[in-house]
Structure 1
């Protein structure tokens, strides 16, 4: 993979980041491009793992730092590491050769960002992020100096995304 469009989607809890990414993935697939997503799971409970009765989980729980189950088209990987850096995760995603990567979260990273705002208080802390390329708002917020789209305006959201991907927004990883 020579280059890929990388776009971060950031905002606070329940701002509909995952819903937006899910819709955008469908749009990317519809134009026959490969897409991958890295989602930061910021919940204290941790990720839900498959049943401990599966062979791959038995191996994982026996002490393996990595357990991979694979069939003809899909892999399921469980890997234990103290701390994952976004660049390491991008290297893992690179294996699937996507043309577009969405990153949910990782606010302080340097990639182009779409910021989702539920209210003006969100903007107070998020406006200082680097590389904001679009602001998506709930309600009737007005944000200056950035393209701004209402979260319910699916037509404009799709148009913005397709324009962004078609432009010169390619970043090499």
Structure 2
């Protein structure tokens, strides 16, 4: 892998992080960019797994720390490991050789960040994060000292993203 642009999207619950990322993935794919996404699943109940009746899940439940099912186009991987670091997850995402990796969450990491602010009280804590490159706001909020875009302005959001990937934001992994 040569270089990849890595961008974090952070904000609090129901700030529309996933919707933004989904739209950005569609936009990037439409201009023929390869994209990987890492999402921090912050829910206490954990991730849903496929049926226990699949062969790959039988292996996983038998004690395999990693079970991979493969066909001609895709893989499904289930891996049991405590305390994944974001660096390790980026390495996994990089296997598919994307041009861009978008990360949802992991607020304390040091990649360029887009911060979504739903209420002014969100900004009180999030403004202290590192590497904020853009603030996306709901409603009539105004944030100084950063590029600011309203969450409903999809044209400007897409233009900002395309400008961001066109700059010198490439990072070698």
Using structure 2 for the length normalisation, give the TM-score.
0.99
Number of the residue aligned with 1:95: 95
In structure 1, what is the Cα distance between the partners aligned to 2:105 and 2:38? 9
CA positional deviation for 1:74:
0.3
Instruction: Give CA deviations for 1:100-130 in whole Å, capped at 9, x if unaligned.
Output: 0000000000000000000000000000000
Number of the residue aligned with 2:129: 129
- Is 1:6 matched up with 2:30? no
In the alignment of these two chains, the number of paired residues is: 173
| Structure 1 ranges of 4+ moved more than 6 A | none
In structure 1, what is the Cα distance between the partners aligned to 2:172 and 2:109? 15
Number of the residue aligned with 2:120: 120
CA positional deviation for 1:2:
1.2
In structure 2, what is the Cα distance between the partners aligned to 1:166 and 1:31? 12
Match of 1:168, SS? coil
In structure 1, what is the Cα distance between the partners aligned to 2:169 and 2:79? 32
Number of the residue aligned with 2:149: 149
- Structure 2: any 5+ residue segments left out of the alignment? none
In structure 2, what is the Cα distance between the partners aligned to 1:94 and 1:15? 27
Match of 1:87, SS? helix
In structure 2, what is the Cα distance between the partners aligned to 1:167 and 1:82? 36
- Structure 1: any 5+ residue segments left out of the alignment? none
